[in-house]
Amino acid sequence: MRFIAYLLRRVLVLCCLITFLVGAEGFSQEHPNLILTKAGVEKIRAELGGIPIFDATLKQVKEEVDAEIAMGIHTPIPKDYSGGYTHERHKRNFIILQKAGVLFQILEDEKYAVYVRDMLFQYEAMYKDLPVHPKERSYARGKLFWQCLNDSNWLVYVSQAYDCVYDWFSKKERKKLEKNLFRPFADFISVGNPQFYNRVHNHSTWGNAAVGMIGLVMNDDELIERALYGIKDVKLDVNAKDNDGGFIQSKDKKAGFLANLDEPFSPDGYYTEGPYYQRYAMYPFLIFAEGLQNVRPELNIFAHKDSVLLKSVNALLNLSDKDGEFFPLNDGQKGMSYYSRELVTAVDIAYHFGGYNAELLSVAEKQDRVVLDDSGLSVALGLKENKAKPFPKKSILLSDGPEGNEGGVGIIRYGNEELSLVFKYAAQGLSHGHYDKLSFSLYDEGDEVLQDYGLARFVNIEQKGGGNYLKENKTWAKQTVAHNTVVQNMTSHFKGKYEIGSEHHSELFFSDISDPDFQVISAKEVNAYPGTSMHRTMAMIKDTDFERPFVLDVFKITSDSENQYDLPFYFMGQVMKTNFEYDTPTSLQAMGGDNGYQHLWLEGKGKPSGDNTKLSWLNQGHFYTLTTTADSSDELLFTRLGASDPEFNLRRDAAFMVRRKARNTVFVSVVEPHGHYSAVSEFAVNSNSSIAHLGLIYDDENYTGVAIEDKEGNTLIFIQSNTNGSSKAQHRLKIKDKEYQWTGPYYFKQ
């Protein structure tokens, strides 16, 4: 026994010695430690087979990776834009590499490690002598891809694969990979491309995360520092712009991951580029945060800026329609939703690191898959234990700007997203911003009633301009006339100039979303057209005389000169009825030469028949009526997109546009969903508007008043203060011998 005890002591000493030596050589960390942890993997292995959503995801991922392994490894010489073969192949490679790494950890099957090793060494062999990518369009060309952005995507994913297989590699293998592939790769996208790396922009976020993550795996402090704080002492041309027309250099010259967290996110978690890019940036933000939390917990990254990362997940989920599709504010491809892989990651990580919010579980349940890591395990266990609660999307105001004082986006919802209004009074949104101050869009359940066009791009579809932004994105989608807001003298806000737009933002004037039957947001924009002030108030009202809630829109314009104001409504569906006569031309002409008007055909032109203009349309089995106060000089225009579109890049969408020449004016409108039609029963129910008359009953510098008379003879009165947004201010106003008294910025009586 003594001898055995002696032996044990010797073994113990030996072990300590080895641990010390290994530590001294920089292997003090255990792997995996990035998105999987040693403890987490053990827990996953123990739970496997009893965690349905995790088990199902694992099965799918295994099938996917096994199929790829069977097809062999392909690392073609880079050649194509997105959508082309080499681009899509390398993209597929990094996604599969990450998954193979995870499978190796969870399933302990060496074939996945072999696959990762073999592919990495093919890349290692190729990368050493790889020139910059042959396609020249990007302001920051990558090597594997045409942009550094995509190279960064690659490294974010491949870092995870490397972490998973790290311990299985020999020291020599690791050294070779790091020396010839990972370190030069990280250097190329950072110090090699500071105009890409040292910005406040979603591109840089990817770059920062890529450098940081490989730095965490390699335990390379220099790279981690560079990731968090950017490259020190870089001089960038202050006038240089990227491919989207955005400035390279941010205002205060900050850079790095923390700067990218601080600046584009408002304190509410709204990302200034808009939800589509927030979704895109979400992955590097959260996956790198997860790695930091695991390896550098002392940074407490999830608590940074009052937990802005966790708030941003909540904000982003709220920026979706009933079907989970993101509102296409600024450049946003329609159809992108919280079912995307980025949001699966975001929801799982926010659940795991954000205090196990049970509402997130119901979103994860809809997503029907999890990330195969510690956070996904948490979600799977939560679901298994039936902890999920509904994620209620209510009305919400999200501020914009690093300090939350640069306007914002308001979403007014009625019921269970029966009707959702998106009102934008935000800042420019960096290079992906549109010139659409005070614009709005409207959703009936998950369907658009009045649309925001979104972007003019077919992301990753090679046939359409290499999958990149089409020129119509600039000439149409970004222009003011492409949005449901006022255009003055056929010129976009800020003359469509990024330099000017970036200097300004709209201002929230007042809001009240406390009463579900009357929710209102009011905002002002005074810089879009110098000398002209625009003030728009949007309310969602539910009244017992109306079958459904409706939207009241009061757009007040004050100017120091006479102008032509165009207010388009991009209605979805087919015209049912108008209350005015109009002519349709025998040939179609473009409505203008620039500012987006060159893309609009004029399909019809009429004049008001009285003091209300009405248009009804039918879409997806629902009727809608726009009622708007008319001026006898108004021109009522039907427009159709598609002019100056030599490659059929644009959809043939319609708008109804009210054109008015005036100095000061108010456009008062009601958008009213009503009734329904079924092509199966062929019953048309409640197919007519319930509004008998809409009137502007008062308007001066201080107050604007509106009366909505319904067909039952009842009248709703709305009056707003135009100057005092305070909830405490007391008002008194006489309109037609009747005195109104109220406290706060508005008066409303049903």
Query: What amino acid positions are annotated as catalytic residues?
Result: 277, 432
Closest distance of CB 647 from a copy of itself, Å = 7
User: According to the binding rule CB under 8 A, does residue 462 interact with a copy of itself?
Assistant: yes
Cα–Cα distance, 481 to 479 (Å, whole number): 6
User: According to the binding rule CB under 8 A, does residue 683 interact with a copy of itself?
Assistant: yes
Closest distance of CB 274 from a copy of itself, Å = 16
Nearer of residues 119 and 343 to a copy of itself, judged by Cβ: 343
Provide the edge-to-edge strand list for the sheet that holds 691-699.
691-699, 703-710, 715-721, 746-749
Nearer of residues 252 and 581 to a copy of itself, judged by Cβ: 581
Closest distance of CB 669 from a copy of itself, Å = 20
Tokens of residue 107, six digits: 């399933």
Among 75, 340, 669, 721, binds a copy of itself (CB under 8 A): 340
The burial class, CB within 10 Å (0-12 / 13-18 / 19+), for 434 is buried
Length of the chain: 750
Taking the mean position of all CA atoms in its chain, how far away is CA 347? 15
Segment interacting with a copy of itself (CB under 8 A) among 124-132, 302-310, 333-341, 561-569? 333-341
> Cβ distance 523 to 506 under 8 Å?
yes
Tokens of residue 167, six digits: 């311990």
Segment interacting with a copy of itself (CB under 8 A) among 67-75, 136-144, 337-345, 540-548? 337-345
Give the 3-state secondary structure of residue 366. Answer: helix
Closest distance of CB 369 from a copy of itself, Å = 12
Among 219, 405, 564, 687, binds a copy of itself (CB under 8 A): 687
Q: Which amino acid is at 493?
A: H
Which of 705, 706, 677, 671 minimizes the C-alpha distance to 690? 671
Distances (CA, A) of 491 to 92, 299, 316, 433, 494: 43, 48, 32, 17, 8
Nearer of residues 589 and 727 to a copy of itself, judged by Cβ: 589
Tokens of residue 534, six digits: 């625009």
User: According to the binding rule CB under 8 A, does residue 337 interact with a copy of itself?
Assistant: yes
> Cβ distance 238 to 245 under 8 Å?
no
Cα–Cα distance, 643 to 590 (Å, whole number): 6
Closest distance of CB 586 from a copy of itself, Å = 7
Nearer of residues 114 and 590 to a copy of itself, judged by Cβ: 590
Nearer of residues 145 and 518 to a copy of itself, judged by Cβ: 145
Nearer of residues 310 and 618 to a copy of itself, judged by Cβ: 618
Among 270, 510, 601, 747, binds a copy of itself (CB under 8 A): 601
User: According to the binding rule CB under 8 A, does residue 589 interact with a copy of itself?
Assistant: yes
Cα–Cα distance, 276 to 283 (Å, whole number): 12
Closest distance of CB 275 from a copy of itself, Å = 14
Q: Which amino acid is at 665?
A: T
User: According to the binding rule CB under 8 A, does residue 692 interact with a copy of itself?
Assistant: no
Among 386, 514, 681, 741, binds a copy of itself (CB under 8 A): 681
User: According to the binding rule CB under 8 A, does residue 592 interact with a copy of itself?
Assistant: no
Residue 707 β-bridge partners: 695, 717
Among 114, 397, 684, 733, binds a copy of itself (CB under 8 A): 684
Nearer of residues 403 and 581 to a copy of itself, judged by Cβ: 581
Closest distance of CB 749 from a copy of itself, Å = 30
Restricted to residues 431-460, the positions that interact with a copy of itself (CB under 8 A) are 458-460
- Kindly report the number of other CB atoms within 10 A of residue 473's CB atom: 24
Q: Which amino acid is at 125?
A: A
Among 114, 126, 397, 588, binds a copy of itself (CB under 8 A): 588
Per the listing, tokens 């490894």 go with 73
Tokens of residue 560, six digits: 């120091």
Segment interacting with a copy of itself (CB under 8 A) among 22-30, 104-112, 224-232, 596-604? 596-604
Segment interacting with a copy of itself (CB under 8 A) among 163-171, 293-301, 531-539, 682-690? 682-690
Among 32, 83, 215, 246, binds a copy of itself (CB under 8 A): 83
Restricted to residues 563-582, the positions that interact with a copy of itself (CB under 8 A) are 574-577
User: According to the binding rule CB under 8 A, does residue 114 interact with a copy of itself?
Assistant: no
Nearer of residues 300 and 589 to a copy of itself, judged by Cβ: 589
> At residue 688, what are phi and psi to the nearest 5 degrees?
-115, 150
- Kindly report the number of other CB atoms within 10 A of residue 24's CB atom: 9
Give the 3-state secondary structure of residue 249. Answer: coil
Q: Number of residues in contact with a copy of itself, rule: CB under 8 A?
A: 56
For residue 241, give every residue at least 6 positions away whose Cβ sits within 8 Å of its Cβ, in sequence order, or none. Answer: 139, 247, 248, 431, 498
Segment interacting with a copy of itself (CB under 8 A) among 11-19, 503-511, 585-593, 710-718? 585-593
Among 27, 139, 229, 339, binds a copy of itself (CB under 8 A): 339
User: According to the binding rule CB under 8 A, does residue 71 interact with a copy of itself?
Assistant: no
What's the maximum distance between 2 C-alpha atoms anywhere in the chain?
109
Nearer of residues 147 and 249 to a copy of itself, judged by Cβ: 147
Closest distance of CB 333 from a copy of itself, Å = 6
> Cβ distance 399 to 408 under 8 Å?
yes
Among 43, 366, 464, 605, binds a copy of itself (CB under 8 A): 464
Restricted to residues 613-672, the positions that interact with a copy of itself (CB under 8 A) are 616, 618, 638, 640, 642-648, 651-652, 654
Residue 519 β-bridge partners: 540
Closest distance of CB 314 from a copy of itself, Å = 20
Closest distance of CB 95 from a copy of itself, Å = 10
Closest distance of CB 524 from a copy of itself, Å = 35
> Cβ distance 612 to 637 under 8 Å?
no
User: According to the binding rule CB under 8 A, does residue 593 interact with a copy of itself?
Assistant: no
User: According to the binding rule CB under 8 A, does residue 336 interact with a copy of itself?
Assistant: yes
Give the 3-state secondary structure of residue 26. Answer: helix
Closest distance of CB 368 from a copy of itself, Å = 13
User: According to the binding rule CB under 8 A, does residue 70 interact with a copy of itself?
Assistant: no
Nearer of residues 646 and 713 to a copy of itself, judged by Cβ: 646
Count Cα neighbours of 9 within 13 Å in the Cβ-side half-sphere.
6
Cα–Cα distance, 166 to 101 (Å, whole number): 10
Q: DSSP letters along 264-318, please?
A: TB-TT--BTT-HHHHHHHHHHHHHHHHHHHHH-GGG-GGGHHHHHHHHHHHHHHH
Tokens of residue 380, six digits: 């799977």
Provide the edge-to-edge strand list for the sheet that holds 635-641.
487-488, 563-569, 654-662, 635-641, 600-606, 582-583
Segment interacting with a copy of itself (CB under 8 A) among 355-363, 584-592, 658-666, 742-750? 584-592
Closest distance of CB 84 from a copy of itself, Å = 10
User: According to the binding rule CB under 8 A, does residue 605 interact with a copy of itself?
Assistant: no
User: According to the binding rule CB under 8 A, does residue 60 interact with a copy of itself?
Assistant: no
Which of 340, 336, 317 minimizes the C-alpha distance to 391? 317
Which of 264, 362, 347, 345 minimizes the C-alpha distance to 308? 264
Residues that bind a copy of itself (CB under 8 A): 83, 88, 333-337, 339-341, 458-464, 467, 574-577, 583-584, 586-590, 601, 603-604, 616, 618, 638, 640, 642-648, 651-652, 654, 677-684, 687-688
